[in-house]
Amino acid sequence: MIRLIRFELIKLIYRPRIYLCLGLMVVLVALIFWGLKTEGDNAVSYVVKSLEKNFVINGQVVNGYFVTFIILNTLWIHLPVLIVIITGDLFSSELESGTIRLVLARPVGRSQMALSKFIAALFFVLIFILSWALVSLWPALILFGKGDLLVFFNGVQILEEKDLWWRFISAFGFAFLGMASFAIFSVTLSFFIRKSLVTILISIGVLVISTLLQTLSTSLFTGWQSFLITYHLTQWQLFFYTDIDWSAIFGSVIWLVSFSGICIVAALVRFNRMRITE
């Protein structure tokens, strides 16, 4: 099993598209930096002005923490797309290219091979999220400075600077869980669909439709949102409430872990029954 995981990780590291995805993520973050650096104060000024009628505001509202929060809030739908470009064809590309025969003709078990694909996907997501956290938070604090965080959820939430690090770490940790679940879903799809491009497109389609339904659910499908993966992907926001709803967070954690487990079992069953005829 260790040999197979190493095998998958080496292949992953050598794939050019992994660097393309990481590069795109950096570009997206840099664009947000640029936008907030040039127009950030203007963009939030109208909100701040209304607050200034009742409160005295010291320091920068648009500080490094605020920028990182905006990045988290903006990219939660873009990043799964980048992730799925890698994970969506981890298996199907082997089927399409025929390299699966090279692997399966050696003394390796199918379940082990499938599990090593999932572990490689998780490794990629971990690297991706760590890179994301690194290129967001660290440059943001240098470029925009420090301070308390003002967020606008059901009114204004003011979070003290000393209380922010664990919240960001938790938020990125939860983002890892959400993205990992989505990556596992896309890997599972590839066991059923066999075509890389179709797998990637369907994964993105699920993300888009789920987002749309989540938006509509407030008005049309009340109560349905907890069945949508995007609902659970966005639960990292709960870490930025002054009073954290831990039960909602744990509920989402259980949902995402269970969903991932079901996906993995489905992929294992499918793969063990699959005839490699290509």
Partner 1 sequence: MVKSIGARDLFLRYGSQTILDGVDISLVSGRIGALIGPNGAGKSSAFRILAGLVKPDRGHAVADNAPPGNFRSLRSYCGYLLETPDFYPYLSGKQNLELLRRLSGTRTNVSDLINLVGLSHDSGKKVQHYSKGMKQRLGLAQVLIGDPGFLILDEPFNGLDPEVREQMIAFLITLRNRGKGILVSTHLLGDIESIADDFTMLHRGKVFLAGSMDKYRDNRQNVTLWFSNPLPENLDIGPVLTLTPNSIRLLAGIGETEMLLQKLSVAGLFPYSVTRSGILHDKYMEMTR
The single residue among 48, 104, 143, 204 that binds partner 1, judged by CB under 8 A, is: 104
Residue with Cβ nearer partner 1 (104 or 119): 104
The one-character DSSP state at 225 is G
Residues 15 and 86: beta-carbon distance below 8 Å: yes
**Does residue number 9 form part of the binding site for partner 1 (CB under 8 A)?**
no
**Does residue number 3 form part of the binding site for partner 1 (CB under 8 A)?**
yes
- State residue 147 phi and psi, 5-degree precision: 155, 180
- State residue 149 phi and psi, 5-degree precision: -110, 130
**Does residue number 123 form part of the binding site for partner 1 (CB under 8 A)?**
no
Give the tokens for residue 148. Answer: 């308390």
**Does residue number 269 form part of the binding site for partner 1 (CB under 8 A)?**
no
CB contact set of 260 (below 8 Å; sequence gap of 6+): 180, 181, 184, 185
Give the tokens for residue 254. Answer: 């259980």
Shortest separation between residue 227's beta carbon and partner 1, angstroms: 36
Residue 200 CB burial class (10 angstroms; 0-12, 13-18, ≥19): buried
Residues 256 and 80: beta-carbon distance below 8 Å: no
Stretch that binds partner 1, among 54-62, 102-110, 158-166, 217-225 (CB under 8 A): 102-110
Crossing angle for the helix pair 16-52 and 64-75, to the nearest 10 degrees: 120
The single residue among 106, 156, 224, 265 that binds partner 1, judged by CB under 8 A, is: 106
Shortest separation between residue 270's beta carbon and partner 1, angstroms: 14
The single residue among 49, 78, 101, 270 that binds partner 1, judged by CB under 8 A, is: 101
Stretch that binds partner 1, among 12-20, 33-41, 130-138, 192-200 (CB under 8 A): 12-20
Residues 268 and 245: beta-carbon distance below 8 Å: no
Stretch that binds partner 1, among 95-103, 127-135, 204-212, 244-252 (CB under 8 A): 95-103
Shortest separation between residue 255's beta carbon and partner 1, angstroms: 35
Stretch that binds partner 1, among 25-33, 72-80, 92-100, 216-224 (CB under 8 A): 92-100
Nearest-angstrom CA–CA distance, 72 and 182: 17
**Does residue number 98 form part of the binding site for partner 1 (CB under 8 A)?**
yes
Site residues (vs partner 1, CB under 8 A): 3-4, 6-7, 10-11, 14-16, 97-99, 101-109, 275-277
